[in-house]
């Protein structure tokens, strides 16, 4: 059937409505008695602090995600991710209390006054702008100020943990050298060792087909379709209500299992018939879109300002003919990819077993070795980013496979590094210093996250979690 356009924006649900629904569904038996009594009312526990089902539902409400969005993503762990987020926030709140971090009301007031969203063109705080913001976001002043306070305390916690962790000069120097040293490599383009797709002969093609006949079978379909426009449906060139009513009528008839021919005749639309059709080139044509949707025997869908109505009459799975040039070309490309993979895998196996050495490299190159100097770990002009990072992580005289942005494969040898010094007074120093400090803080925060996970015991009530998920299904 026609799929309505989905709104993927995060729409806010009216707070009172959602809370009312939740109370009925969870608190009074609509969702099962386990939510109203005993430990099952808690979805998680952190040490002695409980996270109730209501707490979690309130959090879902504040997330801005509609029930429909949650329902559509229920099997993609959306509930688990949201619960994990709430647990993380609760852990931070517990840690803030444990460290006795506080903020005065005056600081919160100052933060409100400094918010540019609440200021006029002269930079003065306007209460009306603040009130309008609260109304738009369905929040009370108390709710927003609590949220602001919690966010500020969390920032204070992060500052307490790592904000003062400014990297010393030796660390900045080390960071700069590691990321900005020049790297000299020798490399060989492996493309020249692969047999070209058009070089495979007919005998090789036949052998490959015989060995992979079941995997190579493709669907050939017989189908009919009609391109429906306002002109051929209602006799007008405009998309008016009458046209869409007629489209809805066709869609309803499909739902009632009325066959394609009957519908076509009723609306006096001339169909197009295709026999033994197969999508080889995978271009964006109407026929290929129908082919790709062939599991639906009869369907209507929108396409570039028109509606396509089709019916699949027959599907026959078989091997294409060797007289089909497109199929033969496809097989030759598969043979090319297969040989390319096997050649690269052989070299990779030699590297893994330490059997590839300088002699192997020179023999493979046969005098055609290319050289390049990389200026930093961010120099991705010739090779792709992951390959560059690998090269910079390896010791001198090491061999590895790398790739460029087009997917071409090379075998490279790390020849030498050239360190680049820089002055503390240079323009780069502050930038490098900030980058190094940020990296340092991230490492500290990772360690702190590990500490929190060991300091606090988190238990998730799986039964309650399942009930929440079932509610949205």
Please state the three-class secondary structure of 136-185 as a single string.
Answer: HCCCCHHHHHHHHHHHHHHHHHHHHHHHCCCCCHHHHHHHHHHHHCEEEE
pLDDT at 1: 38
- Tell me the β-bridge partners of 416: 184
Backbone angles phi, psi at 237, to 5 degrees: -95, 5
Please check whether residue 467 is in contact with residue 34, taking contact to mean a CB–CB distance below 8 angstroms.
yes
From CA 2, how far away is CA 72, in angstroms rounded? 17
- Tell me the β-bridge partners of 307: 228, 302
> Edge-to-edge strand order for the sheet containing 298-303?
272-277, 218-228, 306-318, 298-303
Query: Which portions of the chain are predicted below pLDDT 50?
Result: 1-40, 165
Phi-psi region of 397 (alpha: psi -120 to 50; beta: other; left: phi over 0): left
Query: Tens digits of per-residue pLDDT, 147-190?
Result: 777 777 666 666 655 555 455 555 555 666 666 778 999 999 99
How many C-beta neighbours within 10 Å does residue 354 have? 8
Residue 245 token pair: 């009513």
Query: Tens digits of per-residue pLDDT, 7-20?
Result: 322 332 233 223 23
Query: Tens digits of per-residue pLDDT, 197-206?
Result: 989 999 999 9
Residue whose C-alpha is closest to residue 282's, from 241, 249, 326, 318: 326
pLDDT at 181: 79
Enumerate the domain spans of the chain. Answer: 15-99+458-472, 108-163, 182-194+327-418, 218-318
From CA 206, how far away is CA 364, in angstroms rounded? 31
From CA 215, how far away is CA 237, in angstroms rounded? 47
pLDDT at 130: 79
Residue whose C-alpha is closest to residue 370's, from 383, 356, 357: 383
Residue 423 token pair: 């002055």
Non-local (6+) Cβ contacts of 457 within 8 A are 46, 47
pLDDT at 184: 94
Non-local (6+) Cβ contacts of 13 within 8 A are 61, 66, 67
């Amino acid at each position: 059937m026609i799929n309505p356009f989905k709104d993927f924006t995060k729409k806010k649900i009216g707070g009172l409505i959602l809370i009312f629904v939740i109370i009925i569904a969870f608190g009074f038996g609509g969702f099962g008695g386990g939510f109203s009594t005993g430990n099952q009312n808690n979805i998680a526990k952190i040490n002695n602090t409980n996270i109730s089902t209501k707490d979690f539902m309130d959090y879902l409400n504040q997330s801005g995600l509609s029930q429909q969005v949650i329902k559509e993503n229920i099997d993609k762990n959306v509930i688990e991710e949201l619960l994990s987020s709430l647990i993380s926030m609760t852990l931070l709140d517990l840690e803030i209390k444990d460290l006795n971090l506080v903020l005065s009301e005056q600081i919160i007031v100052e933060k409100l006054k400094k918010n540019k969203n609440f200021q006029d063109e002269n930079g003065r705080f306007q209460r009306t702008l603040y009130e309008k913001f609260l109304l738009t976001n369905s929040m009370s002043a108390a709710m927003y100020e609590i949220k602001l306070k919690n966010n500020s305390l969390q920032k204070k916690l992060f500052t307490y943990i790592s904000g003062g962790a400014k990297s010393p000069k030796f660390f900045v120097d080390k960071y700069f050298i590691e990321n900005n040293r020049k790297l000299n490599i020798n490399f060989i383009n492996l493309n020249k060792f692969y047999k070209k797709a058009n070089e495979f002969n007919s005998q090789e093609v036949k052998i490959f087909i015989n060995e992979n006949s079941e995997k190579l079978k493709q669907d050939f379909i017989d189908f009919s379709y009609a391109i429906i426009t306002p002109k051929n449906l209602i006799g007008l060139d405009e998309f008016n209500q009458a046209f869409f009513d007629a489209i809805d009528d066709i869609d309803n008839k499909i739902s009632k299992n009325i066959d394609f021919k009957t519908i076509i005749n009723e609306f006096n639309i001339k169909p197009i018939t295709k026999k033994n059709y197969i999508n080889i080139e995978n271009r964006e044509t109407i026929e290929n879109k129908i082919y790709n949707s062939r599991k639906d025997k009869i369907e209507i869908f929108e396409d570039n300002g028109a509606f396509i109505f089709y019916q699949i009459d027959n599907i026959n799975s078989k091997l294409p003919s060797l007289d089909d040039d497109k199929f033969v070309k496809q097989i030759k490309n598969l043979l090319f990819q297969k040989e390319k993979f096997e050649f690269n895998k052989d070299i990779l196996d030699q590297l893994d077993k330490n059997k590839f050495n300088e002699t192997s490299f020179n023999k493979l190159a046969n005098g055609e070795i290319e050289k390049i100097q990389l200026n930093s770990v961010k120099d991705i002009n010739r090779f792709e980013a992951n390959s560059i990072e690998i090269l910079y992580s390896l010791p001198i005289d090491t061999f590895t496979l790398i790739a460029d942005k087009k997917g071409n494969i090379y075998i490279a040898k790390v020849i030498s590094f050239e360190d680049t010094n820089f002055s503390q007074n240079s323009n780069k120093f502050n930038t490098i210093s900030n980058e190094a400090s940020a990296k340092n803080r991230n490492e500290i925060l990772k360690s702190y996250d590990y500490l929190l996970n060991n300091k606090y015991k988190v238990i998730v009530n799986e039964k309650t979690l399942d009930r929440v998920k079932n509610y949205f299904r």
